[in-house]
Structure 1
């Protein structure tokens, strides 16, 4: 048989074999294997979805809302968030503020944060770079701020912190349980969803308290929480100072639930430590005022990262040895048992070993 014909037959047989293998894999009850879904140091990320920006609209001064449409989207509950992978590659985390019953779209809202306020470009890309009709990648939903069952509720929101709380208000209102909201912001013009919040509050006096700083000064959580009955679930999302004030004033017998949109402030007193990169056969030193991410990238510059604030999960790595001082706002307790976000978390001791 001519050589070319033999080669063609062999190539065709190989193609058929690969197709048969793919069919067997697809039919397997083990498919898809979690380890094949965008692994980070051997651990899976949530499956990514491609969604279309169906609506991009300004809903308050400096705030835009995105409606991201798809089909048969994974369900979510109040308090959940998405990882939004922007066209630039930046990954940012946004709370879902739409209707959990709508499986055709996810809705998020974000405030524009300039560089002078510590912004790193993600919100500006959402505001100025995205257009209706664009496609974006999202991961999730995930929920580290779930709405628990309680006899009554108090909600405290600061500015864009209203986004995870809004679906909670709708759910609690539908349940018929008593609730109150303290909603503060720089000005009424900068506070998104004021109209809907007002409608949910209805004509019941004292259910919704709106405090605009340019009119009324800063909100007083202690006064608002005074007289809150035992067993009330208190949900707070906003600046660190607001959450600290609520925590200090929390009435006895009430439970506190927090959602941060800025990193936790360091308490100081951090110590230097070493990190062994097991697969690379290297050891790096992390200074008391440095991060594991910076030390690792000095040796392995291709190590992935994005937000550098413990929110997006891009820098998540598997921990082989050592105790971790977790400072992120993303990982569940189960995930923290074997991994860490190296942009913010540190060693609780002198040494860590990573699968890097």
Structure 2
């Protein structure tokens, strides 16, 4: 694919280096084939990577000051939909891959202190955050759980940072004692967590919502009693009006009408289909926007969210 064939928000990069970081975890460094600097990013950002005929999201876990390289960490997950398997078995240094420019819905906010709770490959965005907190001189501590010590990536890099790090291999110490970790949080401390859904759910149960920031690997299963009735969407930018039926997403209806819309996960967790709302009230069903952002109704994720007002006008 030539640069001219790429979408405006996409980059064609080259695999520079692949490194074993732990059992089943590879880091992949991506560079511009001509050595050009890459678009800037901040801790918590991720990129979409086109691998094995699929698009998968991976958090950037390098240093934002290294403007020539993006680094991601990829767990070999044979039971997944195939993206990570391809990275481990098919991707090699020297190959080109298409990626999106970085997006960040998990940004490190200013705070008096941080508690980072990582599970497995969820360490990737939190590693960049810990590095940034150390650079700012903000107090932070990291509690990092994994199946075994040998399966836990980037532990050496964490140990080199100026912060408090507790490693909790499950085969040695069991699960993270979240009651102890989250008890007596100091005023102004924010909790950032990333990992498998059981860990996130357990942290949510124990941490005040206004203190918690989290990122999911996959959308949790939600039982809904809502009526998924039909509604109308005016696409102001293209002059097309969509009839969105029950069981059809706005994204699918737009694609069926011939509109080109950025999308990736189709589960409401990656943010690639975020669309500006010009009129109407969305029925937000994503797992990415905050409660305040849902209330503001300025944007919506059209892959999962629907309409609560009978009609929407979107910037499409």
Match of 2:286 among 328, 334, 348: 328
Output aligned runs, 1:206-221, within 5 Å: 207-221=164-178
What is aligned with 1:260?
A: 216
Using structure 1 for the length normalisation, give the TM-score.
0.72
What is aligned with 1:33?
A: none
1:226 and 2:183 are equivalent in the alignment: yes
What is aligned with 2:28?
A: 66
Larger Rg: 1
Q: Which runs of 5 or more residues in structure 2 are unaligned? A: 1-5
1:167-212 C-alpha deviation (Å, 9 max, x unpaired): 111122233332111111122222211222233367xxxx222112
Q: Distance in 1 between matches of 2:108 and 2:138?
A: 13
Q: Distance in 1 between matches of 2:66 and 2:130?
A: 17
Contact residue 216 and residue 269 of structure 2 kept, 8 A? no
Q: Distance in 1 between matches of 2:50 and 2:133?
A: 31
TM-superposed deviation, 1:338: 6.1
Contact residue 25 and residue 76 of structure 2 kept, 8 A? yes
Q: Distance in 1 between matches of 2:242 and 2:254?
A: 10
What is aligned with 1:179?
A: 140
What is aligned with 1:3?
A: none
1:55 and 2:17 are equivalent in the alignment: yes
1:104 and 2:65 are equivalent in the alignment: no
- RMSD of aligned residue pairs (Cα, Å): 3.3
Contact residue 215 and residue 288 of structure 2 kept, 8 A? no
Using structure 2 for the length normalisation, give the TM-score.
0.81
TM-superposed deviation, 1:159: 0.9
Q: Which runs of 5 or more residues in structure 1 are unaligned? A: 1-36, 39-45
Task: Summarize the Cα distance change of 1:280–1:143 in structure 2 as closer, same or farther, 3 Å threshold.
Answer: closer
Output aligned runs, 1:296-311, within 5 Å: 300=257, 305-311=263-269
Larger helix fraction of residues: 1
Task: Summarize the Cα distance change of 1:232–1:320 in structure 2 as closer, same or farther, 3 Å threshold.
Answer: closer
Task: Summarize the Cα distance change of 1:316–1:122 in structure 2 as closer, same or farther, 3 Å threshold.
Answer: farther
Match of 1:142 among 75, 98, 103: 103
What is aligned with 1:15?
A: none
Number of equivalences = 301
Task: Summarize the Cα distance change of 1:280–1:79 in structure 2 as closer, same or farther, 3 Å threshold.
Answer: closer
Contact residue 145 and residue 169 of structure 2 kept, 8 A? yes
What is aligned with 2:198?
A: 241
Match of 1:341 among 292, 301, 308: 301
Larger strand fraction of residues: 2
